[in-house]
C-alpha cells in the first residue's frame, strides 16, 4: 500500500508530541512496521518539503529503506499545470497532490485540509476510468491502510525486518 502524504500531515504522522499524533499513528506504524510506502514528486511538493526541515532526516532514512517511491517530477509538473488550467478557484491550492495521485496511480492520500477534500474527490479532475483516491483523516479510517490499496508503482512490497523497524522507530521523535 502506498500513500501521498500532504505536508500538513508530517507533524501528526512523525511527531509523537503533536496533539493529533494518536489519530495518525496508524499511518506511521503501517510505514515503519508494515508494507506502507510514501509517494511523492514534483517541483511544488518538493518546495513544500524543503520547508519542513524537521522531517527531512526521517524521510531520507525512509527513502534509504525503500519506504518512499519518488515519481517523475516532469510528469507530476505537467499534470499540475493541467489541473491549474481546469480549475481557477482560491480554495484549489493543492493541485500538486492530485497530480502525484494521477501520475503514481496511488489510491490513498493523508490530509487534514478539509478544503482540499472536494477537489481530491472530484472525478472530472482525473483521467477517465481513474479511481479517485480515498482520504485518510484519522484512526477511524485505519481500515484504508490495507494491501488492497497498493498501487502498482509501490510493488513489490514487504514488511521491514525487526532491525529496520527498530531503526525507523528510533528516528521518530
User: Could you tell me the mean pLDDT of each successive run of 10 residues in the chain, 173 residues long?
Assistant: 93 95 95 93 96 91 93 97 88 92 96 93 94 94 89 86 80 75
Element spanning 123, H or E? none
Q: Tell me the sheet residues that pair with 70.
A: 40
Domain total for the chain? 1
What is the predicted pLDDT for the residue at 98? 97
Residue 69, domain extent: 2-171
Element spanning 24, H or E? helix 21-32
Query: Which cell is 132 given?
Result: 479517485
Residue 83 · residue 126 · CB < 8 Å:
no
Q: How far apart are CA 154 and CA 1, in angstroms?
A: 7
Where residue 131 sits, what CATH number does that domain have?
3.40.50
pTM for this prediction: 0.93
Q: In sequence order, which residues have a C-beta less than 8 Å from that of residue 12 and are 6 or more positions away?
A: 18, 20, 21, 23, 24, 112
Amino acid at each position: 500500500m502506498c500513500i501521498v502524504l500532504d505536508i500538513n500531515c508530517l507533524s501528526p504522522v512523525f511527531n509523537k508530541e503533536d496533539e493529533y499524533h494518536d489519530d495518525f499513528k496508524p499511518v506511521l506504524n503501517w510505514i515503519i512496521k508494515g508494507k506502507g510506502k510514501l509517494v511523492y514528486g514534483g517541483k511544488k511538493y518538493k518546495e513544500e518539503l524543503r520547508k519542513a526541515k524537521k522531517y527531512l532526516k526521517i524521510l531520507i532514512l525512509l527513502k534509504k529503506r525503500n519506504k518512499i517511491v519518488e515519481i517523475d517530477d516532469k510528469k507530476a509538473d505537467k499534470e499540475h499545470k493541467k489541473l491549474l488550467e481546469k480549475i481557477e478557484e482560491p480554495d484549489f491550492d493543492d493541485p500538486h497532490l492530485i497530480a502525484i495521485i494521477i501520475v503514481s496511480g496511488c489510491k490513498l492520500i493523508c490530509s487534514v485540509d478539509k478544503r482540499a477534500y472536494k477537489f481530491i474527490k472530484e472525478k472530472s479532475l482525473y483521467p477517465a476510468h481513474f479511481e479517485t483516491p480515498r482520504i485518510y483523516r484519522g484512526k477511524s479510517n485505519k481500515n484504508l491502510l490495507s494491501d488492497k490499496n497498493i498501487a502498482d508503482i509501490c510493488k513489490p512490497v514487504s514488511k521491514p525486518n525487526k532491525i529496520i523497524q527498530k531503526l525507523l522507530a528510533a528516528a521518530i521523535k
